Amino acid sequence: MARTEIKIGGFGGQGVILSGYIIGRAAAIYDNKHATMLQAFGPEARGSACSAQIVVADEPIAYPYITVPQIMVVMSQEAYTKFSPELAEGGILISEEELVKTHNLRKGLKHFSIPATRIAEELGRKMVLNIVMMGFWTAVTGLIGVEAMRSAVKVSVPRGTEMLNLSAFDRGFEYGQNLKTR
């Protein structure tokens, strides 16, 4: 792995920024890689568009901005519409199955989707949908080790919610593993 560019998009309140933070932390602290993250969001805290841009590499990162992401996670229709044209040829698109309709999907992309919101609701907290997505992301990309990601989740979520979030991560990871074996 030379350099991998990742973009996560959604709306405020879905945990987009935390997801980027978890990937960066897992890579840099627990998986012996280098990582940078930049974030962008609208003036409103919840409900507005937001994104996180993460670069993961084996070597120090001189340029922290993404130019053409190889991996993209979209958790809202607006994020899909706005960001999916940026995805590299042959890139990986990961979407929230029930919130994003991937119309006009470009040929050559690898597309994976998960009903993350429904899984989070089954766990009793819709707010962990981003952690479900992170488990799924880990399974389908293989970019960062599962234990590194679990460790990053555990130390990045609010105290007292660690077990719920690890359960969410594991459900997403399992969903991704099952999808890959089909």
Q: Please tell me the pTM assigned to this model.
A: 0.93
Q: 């962008």: which residue's tokens?
A: 40
Angle of helix 16-25 relative to helix 146-156, nearest 10 degrees, comes to 130
Closest CA to 19 of 172, 176, 174, 125: 172
User: How many percent of the chain have pLDDT more than 70?
Assistant: 95
Rounded Cα distance between 109 and 11, Å, is 23
Q: Which two tokens stand for residue 150?
A: 């679990």
The H-or-E segment that residue 134 falls in is: helix 129-141
Mean of the pLDDT values across residues 46-67?
90
Mean of the pLDDT values across residues 110-116?
96
Residue 37 has a pLDDT of: 95
HEC assignment per residue over 60-116: CCCCCCCCCCCEEEECCHHHHHHHHHHCCCCCEEEEECCCCCCCCCCCCCEEEEECH
Cβ pair 136, 154 in contact under 8 A: no
Q: What is the pLDDT of residues 122-177, one digit of tens each?
A: 999 999 999 999 999 999 999 999 999 999 999 999 999 999 999 999 999 999 99
Domains and CATH numbers, the chain: 3-181 (3.40.920.10)
Residue 42 has a pLDDT of: 64
Mean of the pLDDT values across residues 60-83?
95
Cβ pair 119, 128 in contact under 8 A: no
* pLDDT band with cut points at 50, 70 and 90 for residue 41: confident
Cβ pair 116, 97 in contact under 8 A: yes
Q: What are phi and psi of 28, to 5 degrees?
A: -80, -35
Question: Residue 109: is its pLDDT beyond 90?
Answer: yes
The neighbour count for residue 86, using CB atoms within 10 Å, is 15
* pLDDT band with cut points at 50, 70 and 90 for residue 80: very high
* pLDDT band with cut points at 50, 70 and 90 for residue 103: confident
Q: What is the pLDDT of residues 93-102, one digit of tens each?
A: 999 999 999 9
